[in-house]
């Protein structure tokens, strides 16, 4: 996993419409990049809806929000449509960004051990460096915690 003050790993991934989006597209802006396990699961839906509810506040601060999972662009399109998600969702089925950010880890679910995405949020500064890392975040509280952090820094 990259460290605070290190250059954020670059990525270029397709969004829900298949349009390629790169981290470098946001140079000069602070950006929130959050990794989540799977579209349409209870925790991931609550987390996405919390970011959607706070979207106007993120916009007012000039901070884009990007959600990344290994789901397909088609899955993201359905997920975004079903819950009116206004922010960017990127598809990473090859685990390019997921592994670069160190969020593909061993997890325990229902007594079984397997690999999966550990819910993690990164705040990347205007120079493309990692400013803050929030590990194993709670789906319901993550968006509010990020906003609180961003407001404190303004």
* Residues designated catalytic: 44
Torsion, CA 124, CA 63, CA 73, CA 138, rounded to 10: 70
Q: Are 82 and 40 in contact (CB under 8 A)?
A: yes
Tokens describing residue 12: 């270029």
Task: Tell how far CA 24 is from the center of its chain.
Answer: 15
Tokens describing residue 111: 């007594």
Compute the Cα dihedral for 115, 120, 125, 131 and give only its sign. negative
Spatial distance between the Cα atoms of 135 and 24, rounded to a whole number of angstroms: 23
In Å, how far are 24, 33, 129, 144 from 29, measured between CA atoms? 10, 12, 11, 20
């Amino acid at each position: 996993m990259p460290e605070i003050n290190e250059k954020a790993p670059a990525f270029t991934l397709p969004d829900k419409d298949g349009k390629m989006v790169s981290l470098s597209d946001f140079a000069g802006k602070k950006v929130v990049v959050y990794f989540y396990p799977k579209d349409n699961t209870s925790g991931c839906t609550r987390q996405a809806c919390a970011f959607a509810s706070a979207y106007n506040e993120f916009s007012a601060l000039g901070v884009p929000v990007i959600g990344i999972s290994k789901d397909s662009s088609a899955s993201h399109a359905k997920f975004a449509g079903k819950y009116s998600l206004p922010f960017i969702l990127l598809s990473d089925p090859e685990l390019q960004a997921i592994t670069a950010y160190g969020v593909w880890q061993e997890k325990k679910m229902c007594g079984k051990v397997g690999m999966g995405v550990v819910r993690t949020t990164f705040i990347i500064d205007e120079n493309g460096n990692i400013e803050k890392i929030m590990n194993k975040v709670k789906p319901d509280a993550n968006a509010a915690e990020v906003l609180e952090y961003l407001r404190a820094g303004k």
